[in-house]
Amino acid sequence: MKTAEAPAILRERRKTPPFDDGRRRYYDRDLGVTVVKVFAGECRITSSPSEMLATVLGSCVAACVHDPVAGVGGMNHFMLPESPSRISGGVISTLRYGNLAMCALIDGVLAMGGHRERLQITVFGGGNVMDFDARIGDQNADFVEQYLREEGFMNTTKDLRGDRPRRVHFFPTTGKAKRLLLCRKTDFDIFGNELTYRRRLSGLPRGPVIADPTYWRDGR
């Protein structure tokens, strides 16, 4: 697994529109930070101590990468393990694949002053939250473990698999991460949103019952 593709992805990502403040971020008065939501197929890298990155995961996996010396870090959120040989649909559909999302995240942190040997990496998700989800969660978890092993990253922490969705909060400049296991009643919401995203990227028609498309409640 190589990281050579990542610079092209990062160049394309710079062309994407800025964050939509109405949907992607909000200010948390209790924590005193701006919460930036990282949705499926996205990657966010920052050196701002006033930002916290957040996401909700079902079968998807999110990697949180931090350099404690440079004070920079980021999060990705991918849906499928590896990309086919040909990719189309722009940077967001590209970053749905684990191999490209990991390249973009790690190379992005390095581009902002991080050093490979200092990187601290925590990976979350890969849950099999629905019986009919073809165990995509296990495939994503297997992939990210293999990726970290083959790339030689030793300073890693893993919170993978299981049968419950997760909510993850990550402070990229300090490396602190918090994980909350969500109640089973939210499983269909998580699965519904992931299925919606897969259908949108593949051009398949939307199903008859799809849950709230933002994952979030009460602005959180």
Rounded to an integer, the average pLDDT of 140-158 is: 96
As a residue count, the chain comes to 220
pLDDT digits (tens, 9 = 90+) for 156-175: 999 999 988 999 999 999 99
CA angle 202-151-97, nearest 5°?
A: 5
Residue 108 in contact with residue 74, Cβ under 8 Å?
Answer: yes
Residue 124 in contact with residue 166, Cβ under 8 Å?
Answer: yes
Provide, rounded to the nearest whole percent, the portion of the chain with pLDDT above 70.
Answer: 66
CA angle 25-108-42, nearest 5°?
A: 40
Query: What does the alpha-carbon distance between residue 53 and residue 1 come to, in Å, rounded to a whole number?
Result: 26
Q: Which helix (H) or strand (E) holds 157?
A: strand 156-160
Helix axes 6-13, 98-111, angle to 10 degrees: 80
pLDDT value of residue 46? 97
Domains of the chain as residue ranges with CATH: 6-12+24-201 (3.30.1330.200)
pTM: 0.75
Query: What does the alpha-carbon distance between residue 215 and residue 79 come to, in Å, rounded to a whole number?
Result: 15
> Token pair 């009643």 is at which residue?
185
> Token pair 């990227």 is at which residue?
201
Q: Give yes or no for residue 50 having a pLDDT over 90.
A: yes
